Amino acid sequence: MKLDVIKLDGGAAGDVELSEDVFGLEPRADILHRVVRWQRNKAQAGTHKVKTRSETSYSTKKIYRQKGTGGARHGDRNAPIFRKGGIYKGPTPRSHAHDLPKKVRKLGLKHALSSKVASGNLVIIETAALDEAKTKILAKQVKELGWKRVLIIDGSEVNENFARAAANIEGLDVLPSIGANVMDILKRDTLVITKAGVEALEARLK
């Protein structure tokens, strides 16, 4: 599959051959859903915590005698049924991550890339580099190209000047090829990949 390559200024820069195995699959929602769910659960902090009966600050003294009061039998005020008592079986710090086979994760990334090709929202640029880190210059180029919510994937390393200029532009994110992931790709309207990024992704996913 061939796709046109453009420069940051909008000029033509030839074309590039894309691998059908990486960019030409039929996107499957079930695989994409599994990978996004795995990503979200892995990122969840899991630091929520409640106090149990042994951790609340009331006295541990028995509130009244066991028998003869005509009321229910109770121990101390830390019991879960009392106001400000301990919580029974509440959340504790834990990891929400679950396993997902490496083959499925790799397949998910292929399907995410293929979905952008299928919807016509994949753009290939020659390079993502600037001579100086000027946000004004990059913002003008992005506006002229009509990009709003865009993810740019470069090769093994991101050009430092380009990354610094892009940091102040809302809706524009830049990642090296190793950082490419399903969720970031799907939540952007446009996916932009450099020629070096295409080579790195194909080498990673084949």
In angstroms, the CA 146 to CA 28 distance is 28
Residue 109 near residue 23, CB atoms below 8 Å: no
CA 81 to chain CA centroid, nearest Å: 41
pLDDT, average across residues 51-58? 94
If one looks up domain 2-45+97-205 in CATH, what number appears?
3.40.1370.10
pLDDT, average across residues 108-122? 96
- Please name the residues in contact with 87: beta carbons below 8 A apart, sequence gap of 6 or more: 50, 51, 52, 80
- Write the single-letter amino acid at 185: I
In angstroms, the CA 182 to CA 149 distance is 15
Residue 17 near residue 4, CB atoms below 8 Å: no
Residue with tokens 């400000």: 84
Position 206 pLDDT exceeds 90:
no
Position 13 pLDDT exceeds 90:
no
Please state, for a pLDDT cut of 70, what percent of the chain lies above it.
Answer: 100
Q: How confident is the model at residue 140 (pLDDT cuts 50, 70, 90)?
A: very high
Which is more confident, 183 or 9?
183
In angstroms, the CA 206 to CA 201 distance is 8
Q: Is 85 exposed, middle or buried (0-12, 13-18, 19+ CB in 10 A)?
A: middle
Domain ranges of the chain: 2-45+97-205, 50-90
Position 10 pLDDT exceeds 90:
no
